[in-house]
Structure 1
Amino acid sequence: MVATVDTDKNQRLALEHRIQSIPAVKLYKNGEVIDEFLGVQPESVIRVLLDRHIERESDRQRAAAAAALARGDVDAAERLLRQALAIDPDNQRLHPDLARVLVQRGRFEEAHEIIADLPAPRQLDEDIRALGIRIDFARVAHAAPEEAMLRQLIDADPGDCEARYQLSARLIMGGRFEPALEQLMEIVRRDRKYRDDGARKASVDVFTLLGAQDPLVRRYRALMSSALY
């Protein structure tokens, strides 16, 4: 159902639903806001928003793929997702699922290609941007030595920026963001030119994963500014 509200005549309702500017479009499910956008948007953007929430036949195969993945059957998960995409290439929930499966299999370029097939507006969504970042870190971690070996390399040569960078990727993939940021900060202090300012860029990617309000982001943004300037 689609409904429009005159906010001048329904100011109390506008206040309850936190309408601060118009046009404001909110998508509800079971009485809760599940998505929204502000301002006039092109049809392509609106279609992307709706497609994220309308259940499709291919979502059944998506659910079956998730079940297969939960029991450790990665082959079946990939097969089901590819079949679903072949039948319904417009279901944009399938692409990130398949990309995550490909990451588990160490096929990082394919994972990026799957994400690149999404429409441009969808690629700008936070979850897709975060997935792209995780794919990049996963690629580095996959090629890196074990954590214990990396720490031995750093102990032997504290200026080994490559070992620090690889260790940070392993830590990020394990959800240990603070020690990862410590490694990246140390690279920034020692060698800004490493990987073409790669440690600073990687830190910004970690900030994106954590979100602007995370205390670690506020702390390490300040430390980064001090190190740079």
Structure 2
Amino acid sequence: MVNFEQEVLMRSQEVPVVVDFWAPWCGPCQTLGPIIEELAKEAAGKWELVKVNSDEQQEVSAQYKIRSIPAVKMFYMGEVKAEFTGALPKHQIQQWLKEHLPDEFGDQLSVYVDMLFTEQHEKAVQNLEGFLELNPEHIEAQLWLAAATVGTHPERAEISLPESHQFHALSGYVKDIADLMKCNEKSGEKMQLYIANARQALKNYQYELLIQELISATLLDKNYCNELPRRAAVALFLMLGTQHEITKKYRRQFDMALY
């Protein structure tokens, strides 16, 4: 019998714990078991596996609403962070682990991201570039570097992610801003001026001027280049966050420009 409180909830305060709910009579459980056990060995302590016999521990199974098995749940800091049911193939479980395991570099990356839209922008870019030299496959860092340098390197925004990926939305925001540097749709002189000014502001990290030009372009022609000014402005607001001074100052003005 598994001491769930100690082996899962308490242990997950230190390291992610993946719980495999199974039963001896369950055919798919016999398929999944060896695969997930092998992955746990390969993890070498990055996460731990606990197998819970759902017949023997019905109270635990009921508490976590196990209605069919095999059922796999990832616990971290005492909470369920991710889950799946059924006997998935090894490569799908590996992808699930990759997407949901806590990021050991998350705190470090958050510091760099917080610096991006401040006067420390150039230092943040240098830090992100250094971070990616050590962690070249880190998707979130790739996306934030793309966001930070989209004015000079719009090609960095071409990161394709499935809709289910946790950073799919961020990828879309970066691409919307990158479109600002690539759209060549013909327009009147005023629109050309707004877009040119917006591009220059983006290259110079002048985000307040950038949003001003995007609002002006939205007022002039909402449909320009597949609603480019609107898409780029929304993406910028979302990346800046609701508490950034630019968002607070210009979001209402932008919303009014849409109607």
* TM-score w.r.t. length of structure 1: 0.55
Q: CA 1:148/1:87 → structure 2, altered by over 3 Å: closer, same or farther?
A: closer
Inter-partner Cα distance in structure 2 for 1:172 and 1:63: 21
Cross-structure match for 2:219: 151
Inter-partner Cα distance in structure 1 for 2:77 and 2:145: 29
Cross-structure match for 1:107: 153
Equivalent residue for 2:77, pick from 12, 15, 30: 30
Q: Residue type matched to 1:24 in 2? A: A
SS in 2 for 1:4: strand
Instruction: Count the aligned residue pairs.
Output: 167
Q: Is contact 1:150-1:163 (8 Å) kept?
A: no
Q: Residue type matched to 2:166 in 1? A: D
> How far 1:93 sits from its partner (Å)?
4.1
Cross-structure match for 1:221: none
Q: Using CA pairs below 8 Å that are at least 6 residues apart, which structure has the higher relative contact order?
A: 2
Cross-structure match for 1:134: 173
The answer to whether structure 1 residue 40 and structure 2 residue 87 are counterparts is yes
Q: CA 1:125/1:131 → structure 2, altered by over 3 Å: closer, same or farther?
A: same
Q: Is contact 1:150-1:164 (8 Å) kept?
A: no
Equivalent residue for 1:89, pick from 111, 121, 136: 136
Q: CA 1:43/1:89 → structure 2, altered by over 3 Å: closer, same or farther?
A: farther
SS in 2 for 1:35: strand
* TM-score w.r.t. length of structure 2: 0.50
Equivalent residue for 1:162, pick from 224, 227, 239: 224
Q: Residue type matched to 2:83 in 1? A: E
Calculate percent identity across the aligned residue pairs. 21
Cα deviation code 1:130-189 (max 9, x no counterpart):
1232123223456673323442446xxxxxx3277234324533467x969x78xxxxxx
Inter-partner Cα distance in structure 2 for 1:67 and 1:164: 30
Q: Is contact 2:68-2:85 (8 Å) kept?
A: yes
> How far 1:99 sits from its partner (Å)?
3.1
The answer to whether structure 1 residue 53 and structure 2 residue 101 are counterparts is yes
Cross-structure match for 1:204: none
| Structure holding more helix per residue | 1
Aligned alpha-carbon RMSD (Å): 3.7
Q: CA 1:44/1:110 → structure 2, altered by over 3 Å: closer, same or farther?
A: same
Inter-partner Cα distance in structure 2 for 1:89 and 1:164: 33
Cross-structure match for 2:62: 15
Cross-structure match for 1:188: none
Long gaps (5+) in structure 2:
1-47, 184-190, 195-212, 239-250
Q: CA 1:41/1:74 → structure 2, altered by over 3 Å: closer, same or farther?
A: farther
> How far 1:28 sits from its partner (Å)?
0.8
Larger Rg belongs to: 2
